[in-house]
Amino acid sequence: MTLPRRAFLQIAAGAAALPLASLPFCSRLASAQPYPSRPVRIIVGFAPAGASDIAARLMAQWLSERMGQQFVVENRPGAGSNIATEAVVRSPPDGYTLLLAGPPNAINASLYQNLSFNFLTDIVPVASINREPSLVQINPSLPVNSIPELIAYAKANPGKINHASAGTGTAGHIAGEMFKMMTGVSFVHVPYRGGAPAVTDLIGGRMHIMFGNVLTSLEQVRAGKLRALAVTSTTPHDALPGIPTVSQFVPGYEATSVYGIGAPRGTPATIVERLNRDINAGLADPKIRARLAELGSSAFATSPAEYAKFVADETERLGKVVKFAGAKAE
């Protein structure tokens, strides 16, 4: 039977309308998929195998097991972690690209003059992971055995103490500048391209002092090749019994590196809250806490709001140190 043209057009129009009518439903189904429904990337702005990278991988493994999707660490070193940060800032705010945030982000806000992003507004703080102190370590040839003696010697010998760091704007550099700012002493900053060559020259006597990673120098301290004066946290370090904190002699001094997870601005609050909840669950796990301790750090759990306040406060505090030092990005 041949349909009249009018009837045919009516049926065809109705058939064509069926997929269109179903689109909102399909869209709702897609948006209703539980997070995460595919692999998640954690972008790290440092080379593999460092303490911060290991902490990120530790948390990625925990989240993979807990959330049922793979969390993959992707290293994008360069420009003081700015390359990694910008990659996350430019990513869709869907929770599938995250950032390992840390001290460089707070420091770079003042160190770099022409960043293409604003870390405080373009990255949503999700959850902190760990807090890592530095160690005030000297070559044994320097005739001091305590922080008070260091301050007295430095004031009596202005500009004669060489301060090694892993580079301008690194956490160790800023920790030293904070010490100078709060005590009135004078060091000569010598930036290196990484912590390893800086420690080598410190051991060799070409440098006198360094604010460096605890675990990197622990064996050198135990072997007598370096002398530990104090840790930069407000509490003593378990791996260094008997070593005081800088704050015992310089009230208010604290220079610890806190790492955490950030997400692009606009990431749904439900995703932020889910990630925060599961990250904090990991930080309560004894095995993860023990592994972080092995890395020289301690678990540091916060809510998204608490972490956001910490990041803002740290950016302001470290910005004052950068300004005091007159430091500029190399």
Eight-class DSSP state of 320 = H
CATH (domain of 207): 3.40.190.10
Please answer whether residues 161 and 178 qualify as being in contact, where contact means their C-beta atoms are separated by less than 8 angstroms.
no
Looking at the chain, the whole-number percentage of residues with pLDDT higher than 70 is: 90
| Token reading at 86 | 């910008």
The boundaries of the domain holding residue 236 are 133-248
pLDDT value at 300 more than 80: yes
**Got the DSSP string for 126-175?**
EEEEEEEEEEEEE-TTSS--SHHHHHHHHHHSTT--EEEESSTTSHHHHH
Give Rg (Cα) of the chain. Answer: 25
In a domain, 12, yes or no: no
Report the alpha-carbon distance of residue 133 to residue 327 in Å, rounded.
Answer: 22
**pLDDT surpassing 60 at residue 317:** yes
Q: 3-state class of 264 per DSSP?
A: strand
What angle, rounded to 10 degrees, do the helices at 304-325 and 269-283 form?
80
**Do 225 and 306 share a domain, yes or no?**
no
* 121 and 182 both lie in a single domain: no
Neighbouring residues of 22: CB distance < 8 A, sequence distance ≥ 6: none
Strands (E), the chain: 40-44, 71-75, 97-101, 123-138, 162-165, 188-191, 209-213, 227-231, 256-264, 298-299
Is 25 part of any domain? Answer: no
| Whether residue 291 sits in one domain with residue 219 | no
Residues 162 and 105 in one domain: no
Phi, psi angle pair for 43, to nearest 5°:
-85, 125
Whether residue 240 contacts residue 229, with contact meaning beta carbons closer than 8 Å, is answered with: no
pTM to 2 decimals?
0.87
d(CA 282, CA 279): 5
pLDDT at 30: 39
Q: Cα separation of 90 and 122, whole Å?
A: 9
Question: Does residue 9 lie in a domain region?
Answer: no
**What confidence score (pLDDT) does residue 50 get?**
82
Query: What per-residue confidence (pLDDT) applies to 33?
Result: 80
Q: How many CB atoms lie within 10 A of CB 1?
A: 2
Domains in the chain, number: 2
Residue 17 lies in a domain: no
Output the CA angle 219-220-223, nearest 5 degrees: 85
Domain boundary (206, 231, 248) is at 248
Instruction: Give per-residue pLDDT as tens, 111-127.
Output: 998 999 999 999 999 99
Burial grade of 229 (CB within 10 A; 0-12, 13-18, 19 or more): buried
Half-sphere exposure of 28 (CA within 13 A, CB side): 5
End residue of a domain, out of 209, 225, 248: 248
Check pLDDT > 80 for residue 10: no
With a cut of 90, say whether residue 14 has pLDDT above it: no
The whole-angstrom separation of Cα 295 and Cα 147 is: 25
Task: Tell me the pLDDT tens digit for each residue of 261-286.
Answer: 999 999 999 999 999 999 999 999 99
Residue 263's CATH number: 3.40.190.150
pLDDT > 90: percent of the chain: 81
Is residue 148 domain-shared with residue 228, that is, in the same domain? Answer: yes
By the 8 A CB rule, do 97 and 84 touch? no
Contact 112, 142 (CB under 8 A): no
pLDDT of residue 51: 82
Q: Which of 194, 222, 248 is the last residue of a domain?
A: 248
In a domain? residue 13: no
Spatial CA neighbour of 46 closest among 191, 223, 259, 290: 259
62: its two tokens? 């925990």
Tokens found for residue 172:
């160790």
CB-CB contact of 138 with 164 (8 Å): no
Please determine, for residue 207, whether its predicted confidence score (pLDDT) is greater than 50: yes
